[in-house]
A and B are shown apart, each in its own frame.
Chain A
Amino acid sequence: MTDNLNEGLQEVLQRYVADPADWRAVLAGEPLLGMAELDSLSVVNLVTELELIFDVRFDDDTLEQTLFNIHTLAAFVENASLGECCASRRD
């Protein structure tokens, strides 16, 4: 994952998980949905914000796997961005 993408993702996520101990757990790969600050409404806001910033589209069928932890989320954003980039080049 590129440093820019990684930093951008962390910047967004940290707005939703501000507690220092929870944030360390997020960076260590703990499940995102286990974080107390993330409730159902903030998950919607997180998803829509990530879509806007990284130009990706989440899918309800794969939401739980995608949001499992910071690593799965980063992989999703990177793959989706790469796919978008390749599609743009083909165009």
Chain B
Amino acid sequence: MPLCQSLERLSRRALLVDPEGPILDWGRQNLRLATDEAERAWFARAWWGYHAIRTVRAALVEGRIKEVMDLVEPMDTSHLDRALAGGRGVVLAGAHLGPYPVGRQIFSRLGCGALLLQSHPGLEAPGIKTLTLSREEDRKKSLAACFLHLRRSGVVMIAADGRWGQHFQPYPFLNGSCEMSHGTAQLARMAKAPTLWFFILWDIPSRRIRVIFEDSGLDPERGAENWNDAWIETYLRRLEEIMVQTPENLTFAGGFWNSGQNSGLRYSDSTSTMQGQR
């Protein structure tokens, strides 16, 4: 079945599924959904996003790259172009939101020679460099490798909500707190490179994919002494906005958000058996 039809079918199904299970529990606990009606609407979108990312990921694994990329709306790269023109490279701080596995194909298409940090080896995409963080040695050299890449005016993409990092600290997040590493913030400061928020998000109701490059407003040249905290808090506020306003982008692809210690935002337990692919 064509990908766009699968996603459309999921939309119809989402309206019929009764709200229940761990995703609903998460929404109740973290977003304090007010009424049954609000819960039902929220759950339908979150349920769709949960299954949509798995559908897209399956299509990528099957090599249906064109079908997936046909879902991507035209990209506005003006923020990226302007930031690159500064000559200090660019830190793209992303997150495990929306159909994020499409990222490598997007960078491959952009042809900007991006360096992507990843927790595990992913699908091949021509024209991008990756640094896998599963080995201790790789984690130790990762910051230096990114620093050197930025110095060559390169683009470094890091999902800053990931669970790899050092020196985790708690920060307020949604109705509780989460633990975040300072690595990405430190990198931007050391390289004096601008930070752009980089998100790959679902657009509802079109079920198309929006690629967003946003100015973070953070200036590494004029950063205060509490740069790391300011960077992380600004990043988390933006993530909260997306998570509250667009439940389809929660995806829960790496587990539940905002749980576990030293895990970044994402808990490592899989939710794949909890909501059952239908």
Contact of A40 with B142 in the complex, beta carbons under 8 Å: yes
Contact of B148 with A47 in the complex, beta carbons under 8 Å: yes
Known: A58-B148, A63-B148. A43 touches B186 (CB 8 A): no
Contact of B148 with A40 in the complex, beta carbons under 8 Å: no
How many of B's residues come within 8 Å of A, CB to CB?
Answer: 20
Partner of B141, one of A48, A59, A64: A64
Partner of A67, one of B136, B139, B141, B190: B141
Contact of A43 with B137 in the complex, beta carbons under 8 Å: no
Alpha-carbon distance A52/B206, docked complex (angstroms): 53
Alpha-carbon distance A43/B144, docked complex (angstroms): 6
Q: B180: which A residues are within 8 A, CB to CB? A: none
Contact of A40 with B137 in the complex, beta carbons under 8 Å: no
Contact of B143 with A41 in the complex, beta carbons under 8 Å: yes
Contact of B190 with A40 in the complex, beta carbons under 8 Å: no
Q: B211 on the interface (CB 8 Å rule)?
A: no
Q: B147 on the interface (CB 8 Å rule)?
A: yes
Contact of B137 with A31 in the complex, beta carbons under 8 Å: yes
Instruction: Spell out A's residues near B (CB within 8 Å).
Output: 31, 33-34, 38-41, 43-44, 46-48, 58-61, 63-64, 67
Nearest first, the 6 A-B pairs at minimum CB distance are A60-B148, A40-B143, A33-B137, A60-B145, A43-B144, A60-B149
A-B contact pairs, 12 of them (CB 8 A): A40-B142, A40-B143, A41-B143, A41-B166, A43-B141, A43-B143, A60-B146, A60-B148, A61-B129, A63-B141, A64-B137, A67-B141
